[in-house]
């Protein structure tokens, strides 16, 4: 039996994937926007028929998330993404009456480092966005999740979209060395890292990197808020898909004058405020060697409580730790991809504002902020001062943050520039996977028609005068 080193196998695969994607792009760059959109539409139609199957398959492979929530998420996300296909992102762009001033140009080959959480939808969104922008795409799933990426690629191929072979592909043997080798390839033009901080040291390579990940979102409940609505939105949002979405709330800051009501309404909505003893029990299971226990990620609140050996009611959706202040060693300031919230009290909105900034900067994870308030002045102050790429107002952040039923662009890649990673802070869409070639025209003013007419008359007189001289 022949044994092959997995790193060597991954490195070899990386080279083949990049070469194939590069060759495919030579053909793909000749396709116009209308043709690409038509092909993408076929792929969406094929995937849409199998959404429940895909959701169930992902949960079975990763052991993370909620099958029912994922199915709902897939359906809503694809429906709204489908609407965005009307936008022109490559070729001649709409330039407000100027005949030719901006051209959308694909980057080329895009490498996408996928997270283990919501891997199917992340892979689908990245693939469709890259293709719409005229790029070829290589998906890099985390180790032991390749099967989920393979399933999606198989379904997309069944659509018979007409795209060149190897327009989209995935790495079957993922290792750190293989990923490094892939990114180092000259033909790779852009890297998208979706929440895989372990791979972010690869930023040393001379490639533009878009980073988007888990946001550790603070949410402030201000005294003018509809407390009942805010509590319901926060609990439901954090519980959705067991807390796996990148813009899910993690920290609740309530003004002291309404804190008691906020807590009561959260309990009514399905929150379980843990006792000191329960917190200690939870912490013994939540971390392994200062890292989040992977067996906790994406599990529901009742399962997490059961693993920590304390009981909660059947209606419990989230577990809540009530903390007096922030300190460096507090484990609850770590980004948690599960339905756990931390609850803080603040005397007024000014101190709450400072607390939000402190939480956003504590672990350099914050790219999103949420606020529940009906005071437009305070909302404006938060919008002006917070170091985030997006702010959600009076809505659950999980879905609103990724553009579901909100005014934000539909995207699962939430730019992490405000966390010190990547060069984009916004919700990443197909347009961000292109660059724009601008066409400049002379700014020298042409002579007016009147001036031209006078010059023509003078020339005519001179010609007549010279003709008379010649005749004599």
Please tell me whether residue 139 adopts helix, strand or coil conformation: strand
Q: Which residues sit opposite 253 in a β-bridge?
A: 220, 344
Q: In whole angstroms, how far apart are CA 354 and each of 251, 306, 357, 375, 378?
A: 13, 35, 5, 18, 13
Q: What was the pLDDT predicted at 420?
A: 63
59 by Cβ neighbours in 10 Å (0-12 / 13-18 / 19+) ranks as buried
* d(C-alpha 69, C-alpha 51), whole Å: 12
**Which part of the chain is CATH 3.40.605.10?**
4-212+425-432
Q: What was the pLDDT predicted at 253?
A: 92
Point out the residues of the chain with pLDDT beneath 50. Answer: 1-3
Q: What was the pLDDT predicted at 348?
A: 82
Encoding tokens for residue 223? 């005294």
Which backbone phi and psi does 371 adopt, to 5 degrees? Answer: -145, 140
Q: In whole angstroms, how far apart are CA 84 and each of 78, 91, 172, 267?
A: 10, 17, 31, 38
DSSP assignment of 275-342:
PHHHHHHHHHHHEETTEE-TTTTT--HHHHHHHTT----TT--EEEEE-SS--TT-GGGS---SSEEE
Encoding tokens for residue 35? 């043709």
* d(C-alpha 295, C-alpha 304), whole Å: 9
Q: What was the pLDDT predicted at 156?
A: 94
Q: What was the pLDDT predicted at 1?
A: 39
* d(C-alpha 134, C-alpha 194), whole Å: 20
**pTM, two decimal places:** 0.88
Number of Cβ within 10 Å of residue 435's Cβ equals 14
To the question of domain 215-408 being in CATH 3.40.309.10, the answer is yes
pLDDT digits (tens, 9 = 90+) for 162-216: 999 999 999 999 888 899 899 989 999 999 998 776 666 655 556 788 888 777 8
- CATH level 3 topology of 4-212+425-432: Aldehyde Dehydrogenase; Chain A, domain 1 (3.40.605)
**Which part of the chain is CATH 3.40.309.10?**
215-408
């Amino acid at each position: 039996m022949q044994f092959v080193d997995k790193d060597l196998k991954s490195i070899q695969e990386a080279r083949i994937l990049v070469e194939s994607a590069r060759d495919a792009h030579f053909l793909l760059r000749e396709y116009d926007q209308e043709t690409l959109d038509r092909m993408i539409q076929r792929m969406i139609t094929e995937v849409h028929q199998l959404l429940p199957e895909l959701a169930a398959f992902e949960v079975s492979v990763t052991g993370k998330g909620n099958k029912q929530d994922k199915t709902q998420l897939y359906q809503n996300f694809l429906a709204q993404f489908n609407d965005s296909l009307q936008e022109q992102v490559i070729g001649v762009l709409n330039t407000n009456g100027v005949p030719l001033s901006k051209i959308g140009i694909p980057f080329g080959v895009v490498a996408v480092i996928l997270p283990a959480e919501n891997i199917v939808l992340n892979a689908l969104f990245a693939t469709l966005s890259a293709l719409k922008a005229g790029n070829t795409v290589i998906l890099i799933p985390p180790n032991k999740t390749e099967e989920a990426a393979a399933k999606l690629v198989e379904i997309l191929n069944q659509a018979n979209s007409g795209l060149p072979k190897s327009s989209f592909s995935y790495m079957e043997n993922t290792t750190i060395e293989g990923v490094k080798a892939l990114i180092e390839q000259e033909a790779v033009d852009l890297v998208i890292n979706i929440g895989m901080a372990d791979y972010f040291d690869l930023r040393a390579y001379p490639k533009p990197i878009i980073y988007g990940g888990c946001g550790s979102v603070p949410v402030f409940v201000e005294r003018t808020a509809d407390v009942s609505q805010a509590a319901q939105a926060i609990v439901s949002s954090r519980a959705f898909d067991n807390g796996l979405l990148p813009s899910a709330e993690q920290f609740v800051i309530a003004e002291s004058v309404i804190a008691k009501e906020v807590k009561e309404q959260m309990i009514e909505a399905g929150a379980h405020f843990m006792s000191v003893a329960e917190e200690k029990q939870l912490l013994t299971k939540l971390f392994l060697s200062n890292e989040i226990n992977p067996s906790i990620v994406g599990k529901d609140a009742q399962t997490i409580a059961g693993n920590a050996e304390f009981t909660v009611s059947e209606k419990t959706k989230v577990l809540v730790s009530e903390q007096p202040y922030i300190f460096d060693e507090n484990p609850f300031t770590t980004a948690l991809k599960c339905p756990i919230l931390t609850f803080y009290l603040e005397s007024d909105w000014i101190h709450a504002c400072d607390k939000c900034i402190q939480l956003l900067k504590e672990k350099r994870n914050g790219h999103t902020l949420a606020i529940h308030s009906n005071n437009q002045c305070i909302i404006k102050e938060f919008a002006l001062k917070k170091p985030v790429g997006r702010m959600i107002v009076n809505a659950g952040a999980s879905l609103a943050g990724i553009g579901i039923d909100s005014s934000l662009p539909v995207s699962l890649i939430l730019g992490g520039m405000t966390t010190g990673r990547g060069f984009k802070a916004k919700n990443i869409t197909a347009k961000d996977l292109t660059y724009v070639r601008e066409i400049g025209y002379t700014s020298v003013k042409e002579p007016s028609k009147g001036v031209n007419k006078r010059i023509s008359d003078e020339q005519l007189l001179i010609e007549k005068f010279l003709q008379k001289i010649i005749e004599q």
